[in-house]
Amino acid sequence: MLARYRITPGAVSIQTVMSRRPGQHRLPELSPVQGAEMPTLGEGATPLLKAHGLAVDLDLPNLLIKDEAQNPTGSFKARGMALATARARELGIGRVCLPSAGNAGAAAAAYGALHGLDVHVYVPESTPKPIQGEVVAMGANVVTVDGSIANAGAALKPVAESNGWFPLSTLKEPYRIEGKKVMGYELFYDLGRLPDVILYPTGGGTGLIGMWKAFDEMERLGWIGPERPRMVVVQTTGCAPIVKAFKRKEWDGATPIKNPKKTAAFGLRVPGALGDFLMLRCLRDSRGTAIAIDEIDLLDGAKAMAQKLGIQCSAEGGACVAAARQLRSKGWIDRNDITVIFNTGHALNYGE
Ligand SMILES: *Cc1c(COP(=O)(O)O)cnc(C)c1O
């Protein structure tokens, strides 16, 4: 279920929006949460950085990095959780829960603290201790579960039901997508157009689905025409359900992965996603593609982003660097394409 708005063309002009203060809440007309007085932690309006050194290395002169690591709690999970928790608060919900690979839990803990919610996070046992500690430090409860995020979700479900905790799991409620869609708007604010290619490290897919929704809204607002970026789903070779389904042209859903391999890209270890069919349709309709990256290459990608650009790059962001390299060398990305890589998290989030 996605949030829908009544949009009349010209209802909000791009000039009006650009005259407002940058940030996650720049377009209240297309947001479920109203009120400029809503407390925030400063989420959104992350920089779209020119990738100088890396651009040369990858032979992509128009390569850009959307640096989502600069969000509160060091990942783009802040965007979705900011809205989901604010909306929960508005609706009088006091206790929320979610399974998380780490970053969503940290964001939920932070925004739960901001809005005075009780937060319960179930994480795979492999979730790095520093991020578990961060969640606890912000006053949330953490429970560890053997296996992947899917097992954490399964363990949480009955407990949540018997305690009446409201689930903030990916796509179980519509507002996290509404937060993450803002990334799509921000690309347009910064470029004055949409990019040619977007590389997105994909787990549950909220950002991908959210941006795709944003582009449709922008067309209905009369800001853009039917043109769209080619969307690229980037996963790991040890857990690539969307890549597999895309290759088989299975547009209606993906078969969950039974034994998702461990990876430094914790956010991508999602064996099955509720929104799989939405991601697959976005790939089909955007003439996009899906690519799985080996562990050694994603770590290399993160290192390249750090050493050539000085960006604190997550393993998930590193996977997109590797994907850009591979797709450029195959000629799938043209040299002059305006190409955006999402660095979705901070290098230090997972500790070490
Ligand atoms: C959650 C997460 C992802 C995956 O995001 P989705 O929008 O759920 O696909 C990617 N990178 C990082 C760092 C994450 O925390």
Reference 184, options 144, 143, 212, 145; nearest CA is: 212
C-alpha–C-alpha distance, residues 44 and 77, integer Å: 10
Whose alpha carbon is nearest atom 1 of ligand 1?
267
Asked whether 235 lines ligand 1 (CB < 6 A), one says: no
Residues linked to residue 96 through DSSP beta bridges, in sequence order: 119, 166
Å from CA of 317 to ligand 1 middle: 10
State which residues of the chain have pLDDT below 70.
Answer: 35-36, 352
Å from CA of 38 to ligand 1 middle: 25
C-alpha–C-alpha distance, residues 349 and 134, integer Å: 9
CA geometry: angle 37, 39, 44, nearest 5 deg: 105
Å from CA of 342 to ligand 1 middle: 10
Asked whether 343 lines ligand 1 (CB < 6 A), one says: no
CA–CA distances in Å: residue 179 to residues 30, 84, 213, 263 = 10, 8, 11, 26
- H/E element holding 118? strand 118-124
pTM here is 0.96
Looking at residue 36, its pLDDT comes to 66
Looking at residue 8, its pLDDT comes to 87
CA–CA distances in Å: residue 144 to residues 120, 278, 327 = 11, 30, 37
Whose alpha carbon is nearest atom 6 of ligand 1?
205
Looking at residue 33, its pLDDT comes to 87
Å from CA of 159 to ligand 1 middle: 25
Asked whether 204 lines ligand 1 (CB < 6 A), one says: yes
From first CA to last CA, the distance across the chain in angstroms is: 38
C-alpha–C-alpha distance, residues 349 and 79, integer Å: 16
